[in-house]
Amino acid sequence: MTVPKEMPEKWARAGAPPSWSRKKPSWGTEEERRARANDREYNERFQYASNCIKTSKYNILTFLPVNLFEQFQEVANTYFLFLLILQLIPQISSLSWFTTIVPLVLVLTITAVKDATDDYFRHKSDNQVNNRQSQVLINGILQQEQWMNVCVGDIIKLENNQFVAADLLLLSSSEPHGLCYIETAELDGETNTKVRQAIPVTSELGDISKLAKFDGEVICEPPNNKLDKFSGTLYWKESKFPLSNQNMLLRGCVLRNTEWCFGLVIFAGPDTKLMQNSGRTKFKRTSIDRLMNTLVLWIFGFLVCMGVILAIGNAIWEHEVGTRFQVYLPWDEAVDSAFFSGFLSFWSYIIILNTVVPISLYVSVEVIRLGHSYFINWDKKMFCVKKRTPAEARTTTLNEELGQVEYIFSDKTGTLTQNIMVFNKCSINGHSYGDVFDVLGHKAELGERPEPVNFSFNPLADKKFLFWDPTLLEAVKMGDPHTHEFFRLLSLCHTVMSEEKNEGELYYKAQSPDEGALVTAARNFGFVFRSRTPKTITVHEMGTAITYQLLAILDFNNIRKRMSVIVRNPEGKIRLYCKGADTILLDRLHHSTQELLNTTADHLNEYAGEGLRTLVLAYKDLDEEYYEEWAERRLQASLAQDSREDRLASVYEEVESDMMLLGATAIEDKLQQGVPETIALLTLANIKIWVLTGDKQETAVNIGYSCKMLTDDMTEVFIVTGHTVLEVREELRKAREKMMDSSRTVGNGFTYQEKLSSSKLTSVLEAVAGEYALVINGHSLAHALEADMELEFLETACACKAVICCRVTPLQKAQVVELVKKYKKAVTLAIGDGANDVSMIKTAHIGVGISGQEGIQAVLASDYSFSQFKFLQRLLLVHGRWSYLRMCKFLCYFFYKNFAFTMVHFWFGFFCGFSAQTVYDQYFITLYNIVYTSLPVLAMGVFDQDVPEQRSMEYPKLYEPGQLNLLFNKREFFICIAQGIYTSVLMFFIPYGVFAEATRDDGTQLADYQSFAVTVATSLVIVVSVQIGLDTGYWTAINHFFIWGSLAVYFAILFAMHSNGLFDMFPNQFRFVGNAQNTLAQPTVWLTIVLTTVVCIMPVVAFRFLKLNLKPDLSDTVRYTQLVRKKQKAQHRCMRRVGRTGSRRSGYAFSHQEGFGELIMSGKNMRLSSLALSGFTTRSSSSWIESLRRKKSDSASSPSGGADKPLKG
């Protein structure tokens, strides 16, 4: 490729990049970004995106067509549009078009208004952002430009507290050495200040005249969404300079504590990393949604079958009977045969019977879900007063899925723990500090400890810092060289920023709580990190200010799991200081430190056993010659165009070897309040909790015991630490064998082998006796997740009550969740608080974000968020269970009432010559689902509850029906359909039989079409109203108003439509004047309505009465308990009224509460049911749940989990 003519000759020499072809053709994807400063003409050739952003979807012209097109992507909307088109064909339509168009237009309008409102706010936000002002250097002059007019290659001036307009390469700033400070809250939610630095060659360009002459060109990676990575090269003055993320200011950041800075635009508008990260999250659907889609298809098939039956009936009737009455009932002009008449009749009945799946179903479901979401947002018991943070439902589509969770995958740090780090203990040169001993040499507990260490000798000490072991301070004061070097490392090896608002008042801004705790500890022990520049770090060591030259920072990442700095002290000695995870650092120590390593390893195990987070510290002296050679290799690696990170990692690996061990730190991260109780409750609800953490094994295991996931009563805790595939497979096999051996005899005379031969292995694991836990390391997990072993791992893990995965990467977290999703028919929930949990949160069926100390990236990726782990129990056991219960009851009733309504037309077809004549008035058909029966079922779907929230928490076993999907499944669906068909049969044939012989008061025949229609419609509305009254378990004023109000509205509209007034105004539409009044004035009609209602409702009442007495549900038993308690309280009040002061109050309710509380707090017997209702129930209510759980297990095609304990009634 030839060099462009306008390119300076110097670019054609060795310093120039190898290819000058245009890298972003309009038809392809961008391979690399090229941006030349102050040269818009050159940059425009690449057709880069402008800085104008557009998050809106519509404009005034496109809104209607685009929105309608999107809405008709929904199968239901398309289906109803198809029906509307059929109704416009006179030959087949027996209903007016408005019976379908009214509800369809209503739904489309509501959705369109919602979409338009959302898009209006997006337009408003876009305009506000695009019209922000920015200072752009154009033709050597700073000019005010709107953000939308900023282009790639422009140089922009930013001032303090301004937002960054685009992704910029920092060129220079008002701070020394080209430093500037930014806040990245809009990007990652972290409010702590971060530092960015211009490369030295451009940091001198602070003058506008110099910047105007700057013509450097940046060649870098194409636009992507990686916030923490950037790789590029600046070509200028016949040289090339490596660029990294530390040189970039990203759009959305805010400039802080920096008077001004200049930056070169690299990415603009939609190419910026902020916009690249605003992609749509994967849409999640609930299991009920998926089931509904299947059921709707079945119903449609049923609808077609009914249409075919009635069409065949029409063809036969027309052939056998209709041909004889051609004089009186002539066929339409287009109809020339009985067969064609049947064909038209088929479509007519499809129109008439389509109400088995009304469009209002989909609207009602969304309204109910929205109501449930508001209940979560408004829950004051999930509001954190300390942080002023409410719970938030960030999606409205998953609420009922919260009532079906079987597996919870939880992060540890910041989720189970507070992520507020405290320097607790340390090991220095083989000596452990942090424990306090009494005069007898026994370790003192926290309450028995003396006063904390006095740091008054240090005027710069942090007064909030507490440490209890005075011997460490004595070692520092006595000048112990190892102790001094230990704290010197902590004061130098970090990326903390220091801010000194007043003399001696230091404020540290750390990127992680761990770093902040370590630097604060060094500060209190006399090694005070005071300030930094890009090339120096100033530390006050025991009162003396010492400035170290900072030669290199080898930064931390999730792969390296360590961080190093290379510094030169005032004497000119070069030293590398390193801190990192013990599993990484201990392998990189010099062999001469073996003895010290053994001692330190013992201390590390001791600290980890106490649940502390550990880091190992080491150093290495470097001679000048070696450092110069190594620095050159590092420079070459940083300039590499491809595999830059791998090359840098290799160079870092080389220098971070043969280090000398200094010691280790132990930081305490305390459990959040209520974590043990929450885990105990969720375990009683048969929810399995897996902890996925990056901490070391001992720390994770200790936290497991602290939060009652692991207990001393467990049969065995299996620990998998194999380093090879064979080792991991063998350890998993041994674990399964031990579980099988302990359950050699399952019971009922069946041996283990017999059970194995008669069913799948998963059924065996269901029968495993005892409680087990599995702890697996990250390197072992990597092998366990391989395709040929993942089933063995899942099978073993699911047989355990608790699973802890240690040292796992963010990707492995997501892989574990995906594994359970793939093979288990179970709902998964992932909960975390940090950026490393995002992939896990997005992978699970439900993602929950904790708004904690690590920013809000997890919250932004989540479906639900709150501030403390303990709120999870309320989210699942109260809101989740209620949402599932309400949605299931809503769907059951909805299908029932619509089949009862629609099937009457089917029976009537056999008595009207299959002519597609409707039973009801067409206005009744239109209003039935959107007026007469819509509000009562909505009220039930939004407000209903079987037991109060306290009982939901008190009896976690109430949660199990949701896990087993008992309340709405194919069986329940068919029961609802059967009840609806039964109701429709009685609804039609009872009035039909009565009207055949009945007469009016004046002796005339009662039977006529309109009187029959009014009677059947009135019976229907009353029956479905009584039915919803029976289905409602929790009555509110709204329920009463909607149910009885809907009945009143029905009668009001009925009489209005048969009134003289409407007939006078619309004589062609309302022809049957006075029919309703005349019909409902007849006692025979009311007796018929009452008879129909009683015969329809009594079997339901009888069935429920028998079920309540013979086979009560757990919720029935709990409600009975409540009634008994209320009666007891009433009796006690009566006793007090009559002055029986000597009588003793029954202690049942209180002793029950106490026993349950002890069970939760001890965590020793999670096998027991939470039922504790033996005083009230004589029958076990467990059999139905256990048998269904067994059936579910047997039908699963893949391994499923652990030993489910029977409910004990």
Residue 805 phi, psi (nearest 5): -105, 120
pLDDT at residue number 610: 80
Residue 497: enclosing H or E segment and its boundaries?
strand 497-502
pLDDT at residue number 69: 87
Select which of 411, 582, 695, 946 is catalytic.
411
Amino acid code (one letter) for 354:
N
Task: Return mean pLDDT, the chain.
Answer: 82
Q: Which residues contact residue 216 at a Cβ distance below 8 angstroms, ignoring those fewer than 6 apart?
A: 36, 37, 202, 234, 235, 236, 237, 264
pLDDT at residue number 189: 55
Rounded to an integer, what distance in angstroms lies between the CA atom of residue 847 and that of residue 619?
Answer: 42
pLDDT at residue number 118: 78
Rounded to an integer, what distance in angstroms lies between the CA atom of residue 580 and that of residue 557?
Answer: 10
Average pLDDT over residues 679-689: 91
pLDDT at residue number 690: 93
Yes or no: say if 890 and 935 are a contact pair by the CB < 8 Å rule.
no
The pairs formed by 650-655 with CB atoms below 8 angstroms and a separation of 24 or more are: 652/554, 652/560, 652/564, 654/630, 655/554, 655/564, 655/566, 655/576, 655/620, 655/622, 655/630
DSSP 629: H
Is 921 one of the catalytic residues?
A: no
Give per-residue pLDDT as tens, 271-285.
988 888 665 555 677
Give per-residue pLDDT as tens, 328-373.
777 777 677 888 888 888 988 988 888 887 777 878 888 899 899 9
Give per-residue pLDDT as tens, 156-196.
999 998 999 999 999 999 887 788 888 876 665 555 678 88
Residue 1161: pLDDT over 60: no
pLDDT at residue number 561: 81
pLDDT at residue number 982: 96
Residue 23: pLDDT over 70: no
To the nearest whole percent, how much of the chain has pLDDT over 90? 38
pLDDT tier at 22, thresholds 50, 70, 90:
very low
pLDDT at residue number 715: 85
pLDDT tier at 751, thresholds 50, 70, 90:
very low
Give per-residue pLDDT as tens, 1084-1110.
999 999 999 999 999 999 999 998 888
pLDDT at residue number 29: 67
Average pLDDT over residues 1162-1175: 35
Q: Which residues contact residue 1133 at a Cβ distance below 8 angstroms, ignoring those fewer than 6 apart?
A: none
Yes or no: say if 883 and 889 are a contact pair by the CB < 8 Å rule.
no
Residue 988: pLDDT over 50: yes
Residue 809: pLDDT over 50: yes
Residue 1002: pLDDT over 90: no
Residue 1191: pLDDT over 70: no
pLDDT at residue number 1156: 30
Residue 951: pLDDT over 70: yes
3-state secondary structure 1106-1126: HHHHHCCCHHHHHHHHHHHHH
pLDDT at residue number 746: 44
Residue 154: pLDDT over 90: yes
Give per-residue pLDDT as tens, 523-533.
999 999 998 88
Which range among 39-43, 180-184, 828-832 shows the weakest confidence by mean pLDDT? 180-184
pLDDT tier at 9, thresholds 50, 70, 90:
very low
pLDDT at residue number 445: 56
Other CB atoms within 10 A of residue 635 CB: 12
Yes or no: say if 635 and 242 are a contact pair by the CB < 8 Å rule.
yes
Average pLDDT over residues 61-85: 82
Tokens of 280: 């749509």
pLDDT tier at 7, thresholds 50, 70, 90:
very low
Residue 749: pLDDT over 50: no
Amino acid code (one letter) for 1194:
D
Q: Is the pTM of this model over 0.85?
A: no
Tokens of 409: 């995958």
pLDDT at residue number 1169: 35
Which range among 315-324, 487-496, 1065-1074, 1181-1190 shows the weakest confidence by mean pLDDT? 1181-1190
pLDDT tier at 584, thresholds 50, 70, 90:
confident
Q: Collapsing DSSP states into helix, strand and coil, what is residue 545?
A: strand
Give per-residue pLDDT as tens, 228-270.
788 899 999 888 899 988 899 998 888 988 899 999 999 999 8
pLDDT at residue number 1150: 27
pLDDT tier at 673, thresholds 50, 70, 90:
confident
pLDDT at residue number 1168: 32
Between 338-352 and 881-909, two packed helices, what is the crossing angle to 10 degrees? 150
Polymer length in residues for the chain: 1209
**In 30-97, which ranges are continuous DSSP H helix?**
40-44, 63-71, 75-87
Rounded to an integer, what distance in angstroms lies between the CA atom of residue 75 and that of residue 1063?
Answer: 39
Give per-residue pLDDT as tens, 391-406.
999 888 889 999 999 9
Tokens of 818: 């995906």
